[in-house]
Amino acid sequence: MNSTSAEIVKTYDWQCNDCKSCLVCQSKNDEDKIVICNHCDRGYHTFCCDPPLKHIPKGK
């Protein structure tokens, strides 16, 4: 995480990866479908993204 990302994370209640919920629907269900943004460190279900992601992206 770079310094810009660290500043963004300080603007909201941070969640560890084990506790992370989807920012859109607030659900922790379907944990295997939650992707974490490299920029803001928030979690999103692949199906809650707009447009929905068909697959979890590889790499970062």
Residue indicated by tokens 């790499």: 59
Instruction: Answer whether residue 56 shows pLDDT above 80.
Output: yes
Percent of the chain with pLDDT over 70: 88
What class is the 1-54 domain?
alpha beta
> DSSP secondary-structure letter at 22?
B
Kindly report the pTM of this predicted structure.
Answer: 0.74
Helices (H), 10-55: none
Q: What is the pLDDT of residues 2-41, one digit of tens each?
A: 566 677 777 777 788 888 999 999 999 999 999 998 888 8
Instruction: Answer whether residue 1 shows pLDDT above 60.
Output: no
Q: Give the bridge partners for 45, in sequence order.
A: 34
Tokens of 8: 């963004």
